[in-house]
A and B are shown apart, each in its own frame.
Chain A
Amino acid sequence: MLSLLTLQQECVRAYRRYADTVAVLSAIYHFLRKEPRIADYVGIETKLRNSYGNDIRPDLVVLCEARTKGLIFEFKWSLPFSENLLEKEVREIKKYAVPCSQWKSSNGKVDYHDVVLVCHIEDAQRTLATLSKVAKETDYYFLASDGFAVWTWVISATRGGERREHLIITNAYGKTRNITIENMINQPTGLILPEEVLTYLRSSFTFTHEKPPVQYIMIALIQHVFSQFQDPTSGRAVYEITTDMISEKAKIFFPAWHEFDVQMVQLKRRWITEALQTMFVLNMIGKPVGKPDSWLIPIPTLKTREPIQSAICKKLSKHQLKITKRPARRGRPRTKPIRLKAHPKMKRISDYF
């Protein structure tokens, strides 16, 4: 069993990793938008239909060369350690690799499109090993062909501040068929993105297409959504708010929220509901009696002198430990027989007769 500290550290690490992945998505999005020689169109969570007839929403959809070639980016904030699960994730990429329609081109089609998987450098090695294994299967030959690449990202670390930090994107596997992009990414230093991607552009988006860890949604709700309901004239107060009201205020933090269909709205609402339920379990918020869709939310929700991610991860980890430590119950619950004992000073009932 993991210790409280390890659970807490893992929880904070997941929070940070997701936040950084959103920053990388935002960085590549802004970088491509400013490079008209590469991209004619950059869309975020744009809907496409693949040849299986399924609707897909990759994180980024790019159109190049007069909108005749496509490029799909899929961002993974974390990839599983279990080999089976990782294999499953890799196989999932196929839905993006097959021919797609509904591109933002004149006829809704492109000559061909490439797929780029973007992950953290820590996940890259495991992913590459699994990719090589899966690529041997005939259905997944595309993984070993031109037109599929894995990019990794890292924020360059410095010692003593002798040089500035940069967000660097490097090619870890395969290649795209876009020469300009390949020339940029294959520089010895990797693709060094401009400084602003590490500063204000980080605030462009809050979520990617992938589901964030619950602590991330909780923090986003506390800091950016609940605070919008706050009445500054009355100080700290408890507000009765419905899940719909919260979803409505939160929607602007999802990229391409204005293009969402009912299915997507429901999906994001489920993320929010899960976070609210977790907060309820952790006694951070309450629930009014007889109103299943309403919450009693104190705003400010969590006042703490430590970083909010540490405070929330501590609560979550404690709760997780409590659940895992609880012994499993077997059979009928036993009741202890009650045995009454007379106090030495008490009189016997026979004394009265």
Chain B
Amino acid sequence: MENIGFNFVDRTSMRLFYDKLYTTRGKRPPLKALILLTDLKVEDLPMILSRREKLSQAYYANVTALEEELYRVSLQRSIGLRDVRREVIIDAGYKGAWIVLTNAESYFITHVLERFFEKLYPMVSRLYLNYSQSRLLLKIIKESYRGKTTPTFFTIRRKKRKPVEHRISPAKKGTEILWEEDVDEEIQRLLSDDFTVIVDRLDFEVRDENNAMLLQAHITRKGLCKLKFGSFSAFYQNVVLRAIDYGIDRKNFYDKRERSIEKGTIQLYPLQIKYPFSFLNEQLTHFARKITNAYSCSIIHGGNPYFVANLCDYEDGSSFGVAVLGNTITVTPVTRATPQAVWRLLNKIQEILGDGEVADVQMR
């Protein structure tokens, strides 16, 4: 499937084109806006790619400047014997972020676009949202639109915290769609039923006073926004840019957390993820296995159900102390804790153990 449009030469023609396309009812692929947090220049993309030998063997990127901070990028990945190639638009006009726009099919998004930018970590960071952060972002979007925002549904992943052996049929797991009205209650019910809940996607719509549809969109937990119906300009302004603002705010929250020594005293800047339940041995065993696959991990206590480990991010070099005690996970950045590494680790932990509430810990 080829991209629709892409004949525009500047921001104005792009907005006009997408505004027209997505405000008329009809069958077309949704517009995807992938939010990335980075200070890189888009022109440097081929150069960065060439410095990574493995990456350059699988991917190819060609950048064409359209206007100031707006680029057309041709991205190709060799998958098996075939090459998957599409064009995307990268808007780098917002300081500290890139917005990658495309209406290519999901296969390209999942297997080429997202993979490519994940490989560029830590130079390029994704925007990670958990359940409560998605709710907060939705509130911000609502205020921005000055309309009525209705989350239509949340897509969540759920799995049993403890395998039930005495049951003949295995406990239900997998994806579930929760409809808006009583989403909090539903999540509480799942938590009380010993499920781990991870919110994957939030679909929402915005209506005006007359109940006319203004926007139909969704945002994933990794900062991929999709526009299904509505004004592109409004979506860009009120969803994408608000999400970036929120993301930059979160990034600043995770910044400057390395262990430091001030006037001879050690200063730590830990973070906690709190849960409404205490962890069980089985969960911590699963956690240890999963986290060891992703990070350099030295486990000191493997779960009794007390878990302590030192982690090091292979790509970034940031190192952390992680402790799980009761219903709380404490992450203590040790050396070179970049904000993107802290954020990525917190997301990874929540992907394994379920969404919790991230909070700052004041060292007493």
Chain A positions near chain B (C-beta within 8 angstroms): 15-16, 19-20, 34, 155, 157-158, 161, 164-165, 195-196, 198-205, 219, 222-225, 227-230, 232-235, 252, 258, 299-300, 302-309
Contacts and interface: CB of A to CB of B under 8 A. Distances in A.
Nearest to A220: B310
B332 A200 contact: yes
A274 B15 CA distance: 63
A26 to B, nearest CB: 9
Contact of A233 (B51, B298, B334): B51
Given A165-B306, A199-B270, A200-B363, 16 more contacts: A15-B300, A155-B301, A164-B325, A198-B306, A203-B268, A203-B321, A222-B312, A223-B296, A224-B312, A225-B335, A228-B335, A230-B316, A234-B51, A235-B53, A258-B264, A300-B296
Contact of A227 (B280, B306, B317): B317
B314 interface: yes
Contacts of A304: 296
Contact of A232 (B280, B316, B334): B316
A232 B123 contact: yes
A159 B316 CA distance: 38
Ordered nearest first, which 9 A-B pairs have the shortest CB separation? A227-B317, A230-B317, A203-B321, A200-B270, A199-B330, A223-B312, A199-B323, A203-B332, A165-B306
Contacts of A200: 268, 270, 321, 323, 330, 332, 361, 363
B308 A202 contact: yes
A219 B311 CA distance: 11
Contacts of B328: 199
Given A203-B332, A222-B296, A227-B319, A233 B270 contact: no
Nearest to B279: A161
Interface of B: 48, 51-55, 122-123, 259, 261, 264, 266, 268, 270, 278-281, 288, 292-293, 296-301, 304-306, 308-319, 321, 323, 325-326, 328, 330, 332, 334-336, 361, 363-364
B243 to A, nearest CB: 25
Contacts of A204: 259, 266, 268
A223 B310 contact: yes
Contacts of B309: 307
B297 A307 contact: yes
A228 B334 CA distance: 11
Contacts of B323: 198-200, 202
B168 to A, nearest CB: 24
A201 B264 CA distance: 16
Contact of B292 (A224, A235, A305): A305
B279 A205 contact: no
A305 B305 CA distance: 22
A20 B264 CA distance: 23
Nearest to A249: B335
A20 B300 contact: yes
Contact of B281 (A16, A161, A198): A161
Contacts of B306: 155, 165, 198
Nearest to B318: A227
Contacts of B305: 158, 161
Contacts of A224: 310, 312, 319, 334-335
B289 to A, nearest CB: 9
Nearest to B341: A232
Question: Residue among B48, B261, B266, B293 with the most chain A CB within 10 A?
Answer: B266
Looking at A196, A199, A232, A306, which has the most chain B CB atoms within 10 Å of its CB? A199
B30 to A, nearest CB: 33
A305 B291 CA distance: 9
Contacts of B361: 200
B317 to A, nearest CB: 3
B120 to A, nearest CB: 9
A232 B268 contact: no
Contact of A308 (B297, B315, B316): B297
- Max count, chain B CB within 10 A of own CB: residue among A19, A20, A227, A258: A227
A305 B310 CA distance: 15
A60 to B, nearest CB: 14
A135 to B, nearest CB: 35
A224 B259 CA distance: 11
Contact of B299 (A223, A252, A307): A307
Nearest to A312: B298
B55 to A, nearest CB: 8
Given A161-B279, A235-B52, A199 B363 contact: no
A202 B281 contact: no
Contacts of A300: 296, 312, 314, 317
Contacts of A202: 308, 321, 323, 332
7 contacts: A19-B308, A158-B304, A200-B332, A202-B308, A203-B259, A224-B310, A228-B335
A219 B313 CA distance: 14
Contacts of A233: 48, 51, 123
Given A230-B317, A232-B316, A165 B304 contact: yes
Contacts of B281: 161
Nearest to A232: B122
Contacts of B304: 157-158, 165
B298 A223 contact: yes
Contacts of A225: 335
A195 B327 CA distance: 12
A223 B301 contact: no
B123 A227 contact: no
B336 to A, nearest CB: 6
A305 B48 CA distance: 28
Nearest to A17: B300
B364 A196 contact: yes
Contacts of B317: 227-230, 232, 299-300
Contacts of A228: 317, 335-336
Contacts of B336: 227-228
Contacts of B313: 227
B297 to A, nearest CB: 6
Nearest to B363: A200
B280 A198 contact: no
Contacts of B301: 16, 155
Contacts of A19: 300, 308
